[in-house]
Structure 1
Amino acid sequence: MHVPDGFFNAATSVSAGVVAAAGVAVCLRGARRELDDRTAPMAGLVAAFIFAVQMLNFPVAAGTSGHLLGGALAAILVGPYTGVLCMAVVLLVQCVLFADGGLTALGINITIMGIVTVLVGWGVFRLVARVTRGRVVVAAFLAALVSVPSAALVFALLFWVGGTAPVEVGAVAAAMGGVHVLIGIGEALITAMTVGAVLAVRPDLVYGARGLAKPLVLRGADGETTTVGGQEPAAAPGALRPFLLGGIGLTLVLAGIASFFASSSPDGLEAVAENKGFLSQASDHLFGSWALADYGEVGGIPVGVAGIVGVGLVLLVAGGVAYAARSRTKVKV
């Protein structure tokens, strides 16, 4: 759903940029409550993983593909404030290094793909987790499922406000919502499997699982009470580095090898834009001639190599941002 240059007028692009900048500033402060020396590296890994999986377009309909957005996944794994920061780093690197998403549309992309997906995903996750008594994987599935069409409908609303082509907003909203419901199913499956896998090996690193386990109070015949459960997931001392290294290895495999098998069909936004007649409004990216543009296609670089470069850069930038924003609490890792 990366919006290119040319889809929105200057006023809308600037306004969205202000919203995005304000959102990132708020999240830089809020992330202090979510990050410490132990969890800051996790933010870098989550951002790099989202970057890698976004390269893996999957078919959703005839001639149309989709890819992970990742906002709900990021919020569940590292918290909503940190999740927005992860998404902002991913989108910034994709825009500047790979010409994926327009420079003038960066604020729009961060607002739609970062802030909206995180807020909607986190809200749905918390609601469903409470209703289902802490079923984290189920809540993650539904959160991701809802977040994707929500972002698509926000795009349609913004296009109605400041799009550069005279199209019927209802038709765009219906088309965007319809195809992104299908993409949302893929997103939900990826999110649920990822959250479930992390829960299985390091439940203490799943931010969304904290505080969900409610203690069970048992009263004996003598009137004495016993509390069962309700504890936070216990950390596994000394096991963080192997987990991080394993996660980085998997991420590199996805970006360096699996990316060769991604669908080449246009994604949901591109397909809708072509069908509704406003794809021609897209303008050339300022960095469109760079060697890594379009993930190496412009410079003849194998997509896997471009993906590995991107993973490394996102890991460093997101990890650095998280480390700088973290609480200064010292935690043994």
Structure 2
Amino acid sequence: MSLASTSPARGKSGLMLSRLRRSLGNALDKLSHEPVGMLGFLVLSLLVIVAIFAPLIAPYSPSTQNLEQALLPPSWAHWAGTDEFGRDILSRLIYGTRITIQTVLAVSLIVGPIGMLIGIVAGFAGGRTDAILMRFTDIVLSFPSLILALAFAAAIGAGLQTAIIAISLTGWPPIARLARAETLIVRNTDYVAAARLYGASPLRLLFLYIAPMCIPSVVVRLTLNMAGIILTAAALGFLGLGAQPPAPEWGAMISSGRRFMLDNWWVAVMPGIAILLTSLAFNLVGDTLRDILDPRHARS
């Protein structure tokens, strides 16, 4: 009797594992045909490894000052040169990777659920609820995100947590609009209608039938938005509203190095290159995920 009762559960779990393996296999197969996307994934993987093992990888302390070695050009001893306080720029870039990854992940974990919840509720409920939520979204979208983030950061106070909150408050509207558009399509599908006929409650329809279908598009949009998050965080740091010195935040490093651009270019250029490569890697990964997860955007 116990065998009979457990065999359907085992069969169902085995079927789910089989589908998961098949999905992962298809994703890896598509990824193998995207060399540019694979490069983006490798760069991001390298950044994560660098962020985790920064104390082991960095050749010097990011905060130790040595004025006798101030503004040294790139060399074998200091691959990216030193800044005005004699600190090794490469070591500061390596430790700054932690701040960048932390900012991107924190903003994504805040923006994704909030934007998705607002979007699917507006698309599923419709009527006055949809109108109110979307008009509020349009109001937030009407302001330039950077200007709005600057206003929030200036009002709350400078700091890394402030930058994360400010970027999150301005980053959810595009996610909400995308989730609403997906919900308007999914809510009219046959399996949602069948679940409604079988007596599924609105909450069950919303979170078990509609929300999972919106997740791939939201993940792709979040990945594409990560480059913008990095640039906005760097802009806040450049203006002194992000992570505060002596934290090795890339935007703040560019701000402190702009005074030496003519004679000591490496002080500002090296963190600029780090921002460029990281933003480019996120864009490449976002484009690849869009091709893999959304067949409507598959390349010919």
Common fold by TM > 0.5: no
Higher strand share: 1
**Higher Rg of the two aligned structures:** 2
* Higher helix fraction (1 or 2): 2
Between the two structures, name the one with larger relative contact order (CA 8 Å, sep ≥ 6): 1
> TM-score w.r.t. structure 2 length?
0.32
